[in-house]
């Protein structure tokens, strides 16, 4: 059994303090193979917010894989936003692109779908380039059959059905199709602040998108929370954990067939 903790959109600087503390307690007692944080660690990309995030991550049992989100580019420091949008992330958190984790039965690759600036009005939306897609596809395709193959990014590559907001990822549909053809099992993301799980409509429909909610005060119709992902040889289970003010409870579960 593979057990993953999938968190996203903590937004240090605007975090739900009790929910963040409670999540760390679950992680320390949960026996997870890997903790994944899919972006938006900070609210405004401020140095103090990154420092708080880094200190919190150090309290978690390893290993931990973290990708950036659009909020992790400085909001006020415009020179940095244009010329080194994820310099603070790299300096205080770690690798920005191409993070990997390999352990028995598990292969994970991280992609940065956030951008400091873009040639469109809403810079919060996502992008994944052909080069990023090819690099992630080739790495995951090379993983042995039978491993749980996981791609991590901040923005959902295809829109959450009925979601409270959009990601509008440039290159997202092509990437989702490529990862489906490569027989990736899961694409984990955040950004939407609401949990979901559903299959991509490509190939054998056994590549699943799953999104975690938020641990911030910026709730969008669902409580603060995160996901627990469990996979055996036959099924993948995604369990959304909802903060109840003093503890977490499973609010929804998705069960999805694995490739045989």
Q: Average pLDDT of the chain?
A: 96
- Better pLDDT: 62 or 44: 44
Q: Whole-prediction pTM value?
A: 0.97
**Under a CB-based contact definition with an 8 Å cutoff, are residues 128 and 113 in contact?**
yes
Q: Could you write out the DSSP letters of every residue in 41-107?
A: -BSS--HHHHHHHHHHHHTSPSPEEEE--GGGS-SS-HHHHHH-TTHHHHHHT---S--EEEETTEE
Q: What is the CATH number of domain 2-257?
A: 3.60.21.10
Confidence of residue 217 (pLDDT cuts 50, 70, 90): very high
Q: Report the Cα–Cα distance between both ends of the chain, in Å, rounded.
A: 16
Residue 162 has pLDDT above 90, yes or no: no
Q: Structure tokens of 236?
A: 């993948």
**Cα–Cα distance for residue pair 108/87, rounded to 1 Å:** 23
**Under a CB-based contact definition with an 8 Å cutoff, are residues 227 and 6 in contact?**
yes
Burial class (CB in 10 A: 0-12, 13-18, 19+), 77: middle
pLDDT of residue 177: 98
**Cα–Cα distance for residue pair 158/167, rounded to 1 Å:** 8
**Under a CB-based contact definition with an 8 Å cutoff, are residues 106 and 33 in contact?**
yes
- Better pLDDT: 62 or 130: 130
**Under a CB-based contact definition with an 8 Å cutoff, are residues 80 and 124 in contact?**
no
pLDDT of residue 164: 85
pLDDT of residue 165: 83
pLDDT tens figures, 220-242: 999 999 999 999 999 999 999 99
């Amino acid at each position: 059994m593979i057990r993953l903790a999938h968190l996203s959109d903590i937004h240090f600087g605007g975090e739900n303090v009790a929910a963040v503390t409670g999540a760390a307690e679950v992680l320390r007692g949960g026996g997870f193979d890997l903790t994944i944080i899919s972006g938006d660690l900070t609210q405004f990309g401020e140095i103090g917010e990154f420092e708080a995030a880094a200190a919190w991550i150090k309290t978690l049992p390893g290993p931990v894989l973290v990708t950036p989100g659009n909020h992790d580019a400085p909001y006020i420091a415009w020179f940095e936003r244009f010329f080194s949008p994820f310099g603070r992330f790299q300096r205080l958190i770690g690798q920005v692109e191409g993070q990997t984790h390999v352990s028995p039965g598990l292969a994970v690759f991280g992609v940065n779908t956030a951008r400091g600036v873009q040639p469109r009005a809403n810079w919060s939306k996502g992008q994944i380039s052909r080069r990023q897609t090819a690099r992630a596809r080739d790495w995951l395709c090379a993983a042995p059959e039978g491993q749980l193959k996981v791609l991590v990014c901040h923005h959902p590559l295809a829109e959450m059905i009925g979601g409270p907001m959009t990601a509008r990822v440039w290159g997202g549909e092509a990437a989702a199709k490529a990862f489906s053809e490569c027989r990736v099992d899961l694409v984990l993301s955040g950004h939407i602040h609401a949990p979901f799980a559903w299959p991509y409509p490509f190939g054998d429909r056994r590549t699943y998108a799953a999104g975690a909610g938020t641990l911030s005060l910026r709730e969008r119709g669902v409580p603060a929370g995160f996901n627990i992902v469990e996979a055996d040889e036959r099924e993948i289970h995604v369990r959304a954990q909802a903060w109840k003010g003093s503890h977490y409870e499973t609010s929804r579960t998705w069960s999805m067939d694995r490739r045989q």
